[in-house]
Structure 1
Amino acid sequence: MSAPASASPSAAPTARDRRRWAQYLVNERAEARVYRELAGRRDGEEADILQALADAEGRHEAHWLQLLGGEPSSLPRASFGTSLLGWMAKHFGSIFVLALAQNAEDRSPYEDDPHATPAMAADEKVHREVVRGLAARGRRRLSGTFRAAVFGANDGLVSNLALVMGIGATGVAPKFVLFSGIAGLLAGALSMGAGEYVSVRSQRELLASTEPSDYADAALAHLDLDANELALVYRTRGMPEAEAQARARRAIEASKLPGGLGPATGPIATGADHHEVVGSAWGAALSSFCFFASGAIIPVLPWIFGMSGLAAILLALLLVGIVLMSTGAMVGLLSGAPPLRRALRQLGIGFGAAAVTYVLGLLFDVTLG
Structure 2
Amino acid sequence: MSQATRPDEPSRADLRRWSRYLADERAEAAVYRDLARRRAGEERAILLALADAEGRHEAHWMSLLGDRAARVPAVSLRTRILGFFARRFGSVFVLALAQRAESRSPYETDAHATAAMAADERIHQEVVRGLAARGRARLSGTFRAAVFGANDGLVSNLALVLGIGATGVPAATVLFTGIAGLLAGALSMGAGEYVSVRSQRELLDASTPDPEVHTAVPHLDVDANELALVYRARGMSEQEALVHARAVVAEYDPAVAAARAAESRALGAVTDEHEEIGSAWGAATSSFCFFASGAVIPVVPYLLGLTGVAAVVTAAILVGLALLVTGTIVGVLSGASPWRRALRQLAIGYGAAAATYALGLAFGTTLA
Among 9, 17, 20, the alignment partner of 2:17 is 20
C-alpha distance 210-183 of structure 1, shift in aligned 2 (>3 A):
same
* Whole-Å separation in 1 of the counterparts to 2:273 and 2:116: 48
The equivalent residue for 2:177 is 180
Is 2:196 the counterpart of 1:199? yes
1:29-68 CA distance string (max 9 Å, x none): 1111111111111122211211111111111111222222
CA contact (8 A) 1:171 1:367 kept: no
| 1:79-118 alignment runs, 5 A limit | 79-118=76-115
CA RMSD for the aligned pairs?
3.4
Pair 1:294–1:249, CA change in 2 (3 A)? farther
Is 1:58 the equivalent of 2:51?
no
- Structure-2 change in CA distance of 1:303 and 1:213 (3 Å): same
Name 1:290's counterpart in structure 2: 289
Using structure 1 for the length normalisation, give the TM-score.
0.83
State whether structure 2 residue 129 is matched by structure 1 residue 132: yes
Q: 1:229 to 1:302 in 2, by over 3 A?
A: same
How is 1:268-287 mapped onto 2 (pairs within 5 angstroms)? Answer: 277=274, 284-287=283-286
**1:10 maps to amino acid:** P
Q: Indicate the SS of the match to 2:67.
A: coil
Q: AA paired with 1:27?
A: D
Asked whether the equivalents of residues 225 and 249 of structure 1 are also in contact (C-alpha less than 8 Å), the reply is no
Q: Which residue in 2 is equivalent to 1:241?
A: 242
CA distance, structure 2, for counterparts of residue 180 and residue 286 of structure 1: 23
* C-alpha spacing 1:214/1:28, structure 2 compared with 1 (3 Å): closer
Q: Which moved more, 1:168-177 or 1:308-317?
A: 308-317
1:37 & 1:218 partners in 2: Cα distance? Answer: 50
Percent of pairs with identical residues = 64
Residue 314 of structure 1: CA displacement? 2.1
Change in CA separation of 1:233 and 1:303 when aligned onto 2, cut-off 3 Å? same
Of the three residues 54, 65, 68, the one matched with 2:65 is 68
Change (3 A) 1:135 1:281: closer
Q: Distance in 1 between matches of 2:69 and 2:365?
A: 72
Aligned partners of 2:166, 2:16: CA distance in 1, in Å? 56
Q: Aligned pair in 2 of structure 1 residues 94, 290: CA closer, same or farther (>3 Å)?
A: closer
**What SS does the corresponding residue of 1:25 show, helix, strand or coil?**
helix
How far apart, CA to CA, are the structure 1 residues paired with 2:26 and 2:137?
Answer: 30
Cα deviation 1:128-158 (Å, max 9, x = unaligned): 2222222122212224111110111111111
1:249 Cα deviation (Å)?
Answer: 6.5
Matched, 1:10 2:7: yes
Question: 1:17 corresponds to which letter in structure 2?
Answer: D
Match of 2:151 in 1: 154
Greater Cα shift, 48-57 or 152-161: 48-57
Cα pair 2:142 2:278 within 8 Å, conserved: no
1:338 maps to 337
Matched AA of 1:175: A
Structure 2 counterpart of 1:307: 306
Number of residue pairs matched by the alignment? 354
- CA separation of 1:264 and 1:84: change in aligned 2, threshold 3 A: closer
- Structure-2 separation of matches of 1:263 and 1:326: 51
Q: Structure 1 345/10 Cα, relative in aligned 2: closer, same or farther at 3 Å?
A: same
Structure 1 unpaired stretches of 5+: 1-7
- 1:223 and 1:110 mapped to 2: Cα distance? 65
Aligned twin of 2:322: 323
Tell me by how many angstroms 1:91 deviates: 2.0
* Range that drifts further, 323-332 or 183-192: 183-192
Q: What letter is aligned with 1:335?
A: S
The structure with the largest helix share of the pair is: 2
Q: Can you list the C-alpha shifts for 1:283-310, whole angstroms capped at 9, x where unaligned?
A: 5444432232221111111112222122
Checking the alignment, whether the CA contact within 8 Å between 1:200 and 1:279 is kept in structure 2 is yes
Q: Residue 141 and residue 178 in structure 1: after superposition, are their counterparts in 2 closer, same or farther (change >3 A)?
A: same
Equivalent AA in structure 2 for residue 308 of structure 1:
T
Aligned AA (1:121): A
| Structure 1 residues 56 and 214: alpha-carbon distance in aligned structure 2, compared to 1, 3 A threshold | closer
Q: Which whole-Å CA distance do the structure 1 matches of 2:74 and 2:138 have between them?
A: 35
